[in-house]
Amino acid sequence: MIVPNVHITSDQQIFWQHGFVKLNETIVTTWAMMIAMTLGSWSITRKLATERTISRWQSALEMVVTAIEGQIKEVGLNQPEKYLPFLGTLFLFIGTCSVCIVIPGFTPPTGSLSTTAALALCVFIAVPLFGIREQGFAAYLTTYVKPTPIMLPFNIIGELSRTLALAIRLFGNMMSGVMIVGILLTITPFIFPIVMTLLGLLTGSVQAYIFSILAAVYIAAATRVAKPKPAAQAKPEPSSA
């Protein structure tokens, strides 16, 4: 082979293998990220304060949560606290993975198709669940035949293809960042890879935002209650839904 050391995903970097069970780099980095984020937020939220002075970490975390809540509300989900755990987790995981590419030797787990497919499957499953919780089972299913029943296959294909698009988009962006830096290191190893890493930081953050905002848009489309019967819901809402 001409390029022996370039892996298209971090799945192929296997640290430990025992029969069927493999421990590849994606799993290791994913669990490292999960442990770091869980421990970090646990140690911050362990001693929350409501006094006039709060710790700076709590302040930072409150800023993050408030910003995510505001973004979810702007998409059209009027009760962001219902969706904050899911969407916030997606955003924080992808965002932290993207930001951590400044650590030398770290390949983001979102640069592997397995991770992004798992995240996209979470969205694929969560959207009908939120829709059913908001509209009821029958009312949600009728949205698939909404304009006319002819649209049923197209609606189903749309659900599947947007899941595929979510996975491939995130994978392609993160993988291209890692790969471009890897290729540039062999061509111009001095300054230029750093510039591309900077660009990778920007696109990674944008992709984290895009992924979670698209999930929010899909959930908003699924949970939109039909207009003609506003009194059917428990809570009467103002005219602009």
Partner 1 sequence: MDSATLVAVVSIATAGITTGFGCMGPALGEGRSVASAMTSLAQQPDAAPTITRTLFVGLAMIESTAIYTFVVSMILIFANPFWNHFLSQAGGK
How many Cα atoms occupy the beta-carbon half-sphere of 47 within 13 Å?
6
Our CB check for partner 1 shows the closer of 70 and 136 to be 70
Q: Is 169 in the site for partner 1 (CB under 8 A)?
A: yes
Q: Which of 179, 196, 201, 220 binds partner 1 (CB under 8 A)?
A: 179
CB of 179 to partner 1, least distance (A): 7
Q: Which two tokens mark 99?
A: 């930001």
The residue count for binding partner 1 (CB under 8 A) is 22
The one among 173, 184, 218, 223 contacting partner 1 by CB under 8 A: 173
- Of 109, 171, 197, 218, the one binding partner 1 (CB under 8 A) is 171
* Cβ burial 94-133 (10 Å sphere, 16+ → b, else e): bbbbbebbeeeebbbbbbbbbbbbebbebbbebbbebbbe
Q: Tell me which residues in 187-226 interact with partner 1 (CB under 8 A).
A: 206-207, 209-210, 213-214, 217
Is the CB of 37 or the CB of 179 nearer to partner 1? Answer: 179
**DSSP secondary-structure letter at 233?**
S
Which residues, 6+ apart, have CB-to-CB distance to 34 below 8 Å?
93
CA distances from 93 to 15, 29, 34, 204, 212 (A): 23, 12, 8, 11, 10
CA distances 64 to 41, 74, 91, 212, Å, are 12, 15, 10, 14
Q: By CB under 8 A, which span of 16-24, 52-60, 175-183, 218-226 interacts with partner 1?
A: 175-183
**Minimum distance from residue 169 beta carbon to partner 1 (Å):** 4
Binders in 86-145 for partner 1, by CB under 8 A:
none
User: For residue 22, what are the CA distances in angstroms to 26, 29, 112?
Assistant: 11, 14, 15
> Which conformational region is residue 75 in: left (phi greater than 0), alpha (psi within -120 to 50 degrees), or beta?
alpha
The distance of closest approach from Cβ of residue 147 to partner 1 in the complex, given in angstroms and rounded to an integer, is 21
Site residues (CB under 8 A) for partner 1, limited to 19-78: 71, 74
**Residues engaged in binding partner 1 (CB under 8 A):** 3, 6-8, 71, 74, 165, 168-169, 171-173, 175-176, 179, 206-207, 209-210, 213-214, 217
